[in-house]
Amino acid sequence: MPDSSSPLGFLARGESVVALLVDEFLMAIADDVYLPLPVSTVRAELLTAFQRMIAAFGADDFDPTVGRDVGRLLVSLQITVPEGAAAGGRAIAALPDALSREPSAEARRRSALILAEYTAGYAEALTRRIIDGQAVVHRATQRARRSAEEGERQAEARLRMMFEHARLAVFVADEQGAVLSASPIMRDLIEANRARMGGAGDDILPLLSDDPDEVARALRTLALVDEEKATVFLEAHGVLIGDRPGVVRWATSRTPVRDGRAAMIVGVGHDVTELHARQMTLDHLAHHDALTDLPNRRSLTADLQSLPAPAGFCLIDLDGFKRINDHLGHSGGDALLAAVARRMEDALGGTGRLYRVGGDEFAVLVAPPFQPRDAAQLVHRTLRRPIEVIDGPPITIGASIGTTVAPARTSTVEDLIAAADAGLYRSKEARRA
């Protein structure tokens, strides 16, 4: 009988994981995504892409960039609403459980890396689509401005038709922010955000960014360049999209002054709320330990580089954890580590920030005016009380602690650990004695 935990176990069970994932994806987007292509064509394209992704997922020379191709494919198939992006992300996140009844940590790591590449590829392709949409708006705007040659009524009709059929938030405004033309989606966005758009509710500029100075700088840059193809990207948070707050990314450009006609601002926006949330989730995963949710070694490195002044540093090593872990088993040991982390974090409070830097090693950056010994005393005191672990008696575990000082913006994690290691060794020897 085949190993049910094998990444290829689904073949022996006569199931098609690829088809299952693709069909679940299509069902998930059925109510929210308009597909201009036949569903059979979209399904065939997705089947090929998912087959490549699963092949890469199980390969010895694992390459996560296959996820980037899937993100680009979704945009090329015009699956460009947040619900489509989210459904694609869920399909990738489901890979480990779809391919194995008991996915390994490595399988979940690979899935997370593919998901990160998928998000990047989707965002890259979506940005390109926004720029292309902006070019269409420019061409239509220029045709409208050549009214003397084409006829005022005909040019305006062309521009109006383009706006009415645009499936993105598109606007043309004067340099003071008064909207001259807007697509239906843009009109809905304006109506929902009147309170944000100046006292009279008719200034588009506050809708382009949370920072008015950023908008002003962008417009100055576009005016200095004085080139239609020049594009500045702005991002606004808390924009009401329907009845929910979201994030809109704008590709903004400016038509130059010509033949006495005033310059105009052209903007194409897209709802990137789901992508933004996924990006934040991935960033959190990259900077936090998966078991304890504490900041990890990468977070500690970043915090050391931003220290405005010297700070205390503690290196904490749990005493006898290997013996306890062998007794409790892997899941019990993990539960104990998580419980110890919560206990220490609660005890430290505002004294310092706790990190997990190794298997049973933790670190604390101590915020002034507190000293490293203050943090060490809090850790020793809180670990005196036994810790409840699921399916077992309370456990008492001690810790050995070494301390040093972290100079402002000059130390690496390795330097600090080496400096604190001597004190940690002395602490361990003293506790044994």
User: Per residue in 103-142, pLDDT tens?
Assistant: 787 888 888 888 878 887 888 887 777 666 655 556 655 6
User: What is the structure's pLDDT at 317?
Assistant: 93
Q: How far is residue 178's CA from residue 194's CA, in Å, rounded to a whole number?
A: 13
Confidence of residue 166 (pLDDT cuts 50, 70, 90): low
Amino acid at residue number 102: E
User: What is the structure's pLDDT at 138?
Assistant: 60
With 0.95 as the threshold, say if the pTM is over it: no
394, 383 contact by CB (below 8 A): no
- Beta strands 399-406 and 179-182, pairing class: unpaired
Q: How far is residue 57's CA from residue 51's CA, in Å, rounded to a whole number?
A: 10
Which strands make up the sheet holding 244-255, listed edge to edge?
A: 179-182, 169-174, 264-271, 244-255, 232-241
Compute the Cα dihedral for 156, 157, 162, 166 and give only its sign: positive
Amino acid at residue number 3: D
Q: How far is CA 32 from CA 27, 81, 86, 130, 247, in A?
A: 10, 8, 11, 20, 18
DSSP code, position 367: P
User: What is the structure's pLDDT at 318?
Assistant: 93
Tell me what the pLDDT averaged over the chain comes to. 82
pLDDT digits (tens, 9 = 90+) for 214-239: 999 999 998 888 776 788 889 999 99
pLDDT digits (tens, 9 = 90+) for 247-277: 999 988 888 877 667 888 888 888 888 888 8
What percentage of residues in the chain have a pLDDT greater than 90?
Answer: 24
pLDDT at 196 over 70: yes
Q: Which of 124-133, 192-201, 370-379 has the highest average model confidence (pLDDT)?
A: 370-379
pLDDT at 433 over 60: no
User: What is the structure's pLDDT at 113?
Assistant: 84
Confidence of residue 148 (pLDDT cuts 50, 70, 90): very low
Average pLDDT over residues 205-212: 94
Q: How far is residue 389's CA from residue 394's CA, in Å, rounded to a whole number?
A: 6
pLDDT at 323 over 80: yes
Q: How far is residue 339's CA from residue 237's CA, in Å, rounded to a whole number?
A: 36
DSSP bridge pairs for 174: 264
Within 349-412, where are the H helices?
372-382
Average pLDDT over residues 187-197: 91
Average pLDDT over residues 154-172: 63
Q: How far is residue 397's CA from residue 407's CA, in Å, rounded to a whole number?
A: 31
- Residue 315: count other Cβ atoms within 10 Å of its Cβ: 25
What percentage of residues in the chain have a pLDDT greater than 70?
Answer: 85
Q: How far is residue 409's CA from residue 306's CA, in Å, rounded to a whole number?
A: 6
Confidence of residue 11 (pLDDT cuts 50, 70, 90): very low
Residue bearing the bigger pLDDT, 145 or 346: 346
Q: How far, in whole angstroms, is CA 266 from its chain's centroid? A: 28
pLDDT at 165 over 60: no
Confidence of residue 429 (pLDDT cuts 50, 70, 90): confident
